[in-house]
């Protein structure tokens, strides 16, 4: 279904003004525009199929980014207060830069009259964790200490899923520890693979850490974007090129990057977890990867990971949730000594009975034979009896029939 949709969508394009990262001098990004058609990403993932079963209700998705505009019409009522770990004092539900609001839109934007766009998990709650001042966008290599601080705060304030749209290219012990702590607390961390795939493809963190679901960028034609980070750490891909989403203030905007792919994957995780809340983090990741639609390489691959995130299959698909378990050992056989002794005694008595019966029959046959042959022996005084003489054929001495009697007369030669 997903592959077929992608082949059709690759033909067309959308016409929405792209978002521009906010500079420090700008107060806020410009409002977005109205976009009525159904975006290619939503057509591809087709979340409408799964909404009768799951909408993300009960899940709290933290977005560690620039904050989330709680007054955006399609996000209002979904956004919690949150925090700003950059300044340590502001709330997170304001976003002049717009990036966090854009990521939040693909996760949980609600429906709007006359608009095709809607978030994948529209009933999930959004927990904003801002990294910088309200009008700033983090650079391409975020301070790992800020990311660690944001993840830790989100885990401690009720997040079930933490979305990390930005990557750092520094392997940091504190960030790795924050990710491990989230896993221990049963919180899933979903991270972007970064957008430097064509620039030496550095290893992105926290995406490359164990226990993190790393998500790369899928384009409308079903291929992975060239700049999407790649490596053995990639778990899934999701729409991230020319994606329609919410803009801070109002309206919609066209965006690109693995940050939005991570947002889509987080929404799919929210759907699956709201439907199967008893899954562990590892079981949830296994389900998301096992139900992914095939990508453009053998799975797992360095670019597509296990494939394209599939909301419907992630919720209703049949998988063997959890790691395989060894079959239980067969219980030790109980040996009943008394029963063994009874069986041995029975077998012995049976054998003796058979031997006795056989001996009795043999003795009876010997007695009968003696009764028959002893009188005969006495009459002949124990001499062997004579055999009958040779058979005397009376015709043997008679002359044979003359041969000439059977000859035909010779023909007259004269």
- 208-266 pLDDT per residue, tens: 999 999 999 999 999 999 999 999 999 999 999 999 999 999 999 999 999 999 999 99
Extract the tokens encoding 10: 């690759």
Q: How far is CA 7 from CA 37, 44, 275, 289, in A?
A: 18, 10, 30, 22
The single residue listed with the structure tokens 């009896």 is 385
Identify any residues that bridge with 79 across adjacent strands, giving them in sequence order.
126
Q: Supply the mean pLDDT for the chain.
A: 83
**Tens digits of per-residue pLDDT, 334-355?**
445 565 566 555 555 555 555 5
At 373, list the tokens.
Answer: 């042959």
Tokens of 383: 């001499």
* Domains, the chain: 2-316 (3.40.50.200)
What is the reported pLDDT for 57? 98
User: DSSP alpha helices (H): ranges in 55-143?
Assistant: 99-108
| 10, 200, 224 from 303: Cα distances, Å | 19, 15, 7
| Alpha carbons 168 and 256: distance in angstroms, whole number | 18
Describe the strand order of the beta sheet including 212-218 as a list of residue ranges. Answer: 83-84, 125-130, 60-65, 161-164, 188-192, 212-218, 234-239
In percent, the amount of the chain with pLDDT more than 70 equals: 69
Residue-level pLDDT at 18 = 37
In which residue are the tokens 């980014």 written?
A: 65
74: phi then psi, degrees, rounded to nearest 5: -85, -5
Cα–Cα distance, 106 to 120 (Å, whole number): 6
Q: Which pLDDT belongs to residue 355?
A: 56
Give 123's contacts (C-beta < 8 A, 6+ positions apart): 55, 56, 57, 108, 274
Quick one: 370 exposed, middle or buried, by C-beta within 10 A (0-12, 13-18, 19+)? exposed
Strands 60-65 and 252-255: unpaired
Which stretches in the chain have pLDDT values below 70?
Answer: 1-27, 134-135, 139-140, 320-414
Between CA 56 and CA 120 the distance in angstroms is 8
What is the phi/psi pair of residue 5, to 5°?
-65, -40
pLDDT at 28: 86
Q: Cβ-count burial of 161 within 10 angstroms (0-12 exposed, 13-18 middle, 19+ buried)?
A: buried
How many CA atoms are closer than 13 Å to the CA of 296, on its beta-carbon side?
14
CA distance 192 to 261: 7
For residues 45 and 265, the answer to whether their CB atoms sit within 8 Å is no
Is the Cβ–Cβ distance between 243 and 107 less than 8 Å? no
Task: Specify the pairing of strand 125-130 against strand 60-65.
Answer: parallel
């Amino acid at each position: 279904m997903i592959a077929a949709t992608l082949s059709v969508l690759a033909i067309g394009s959308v016409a929405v003004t792209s978002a521009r990262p906010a500079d420090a001098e700008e107060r806020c990004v410009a409002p977005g525009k109205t976009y009525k058609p159904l975006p290619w990403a939503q057509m591809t993932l087709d979340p409408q199929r799964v909404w009768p079963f799951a909408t993300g209700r009960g899940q709290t998705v933290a977005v560690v980014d620039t904050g989330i505009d709680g007054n955006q019409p399609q996000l209002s009522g979904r956004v919690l207060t949150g925090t700003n770990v950059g300044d340590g004092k502001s709330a997170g539900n304001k976003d002049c830069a717009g990036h966090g609001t854009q990521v939040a839109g693909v996760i949980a934007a609600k429906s709007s009259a006359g608009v095709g766009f809607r978030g994948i998990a529209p009933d999930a709650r959004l927990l904003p964790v801002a990294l910088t001042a309200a009008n700033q966008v983090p650079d391409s290599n975020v301070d790992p200490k800020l990311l660690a601080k944001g993840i830790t705060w989100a885990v401690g304030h009720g997040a079930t899923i933490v979305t990390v749209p930005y990557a750092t290219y520094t392997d940091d012990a504190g960030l790795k520890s924050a990710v491990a702590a989230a896993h221990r607390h049963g919180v899933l961390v979903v991270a972007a693979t970064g957008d430097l795939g064509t620039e030496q493809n550095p290893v992105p963190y926290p995406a490359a850490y164990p226990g993190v679901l790393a998500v790369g960028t899928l384009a409308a034609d079903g291929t992975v974007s060239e700049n999407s980070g790649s490596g053995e750490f990639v778990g899934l891909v999701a729409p991230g090129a020319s994606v329609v989403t919410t803009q801070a203030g109002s309206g919609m905007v066209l965006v690109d990057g693995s940050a939005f792919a991570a947002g889509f994957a987080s929404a799919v995780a929210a759907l699956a977890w709201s439907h199967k809340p008893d899954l562990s983090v590892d079981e949830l990741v296994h389900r998301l990867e096992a139900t992914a639609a095939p990508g453009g390489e053998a799975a797992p691959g360095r670019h597509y990971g296990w494939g394209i995130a599939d909301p419907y299959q992630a919720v209703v698909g049949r998988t063997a949730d959890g790691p395989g378990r060894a079959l239980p050992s067969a219980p030790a056989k109980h040996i009943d000594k008394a029963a063994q002794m009874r069986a041995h005694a029975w077998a012995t008595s049976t054998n003796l009975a058979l031997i006795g019966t056989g001996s009795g029959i043999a003795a009876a046959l010997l007695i009968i034979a003696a009764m028959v042959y002893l009188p005969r022996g006495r009459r002949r005084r124990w001499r062997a009896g004579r055999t009958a003489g040779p058979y005397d054929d009376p015709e043997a001495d008679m002359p044979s029939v003359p041969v000439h009697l059977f000859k035909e007369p010779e023909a007259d030669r004269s």
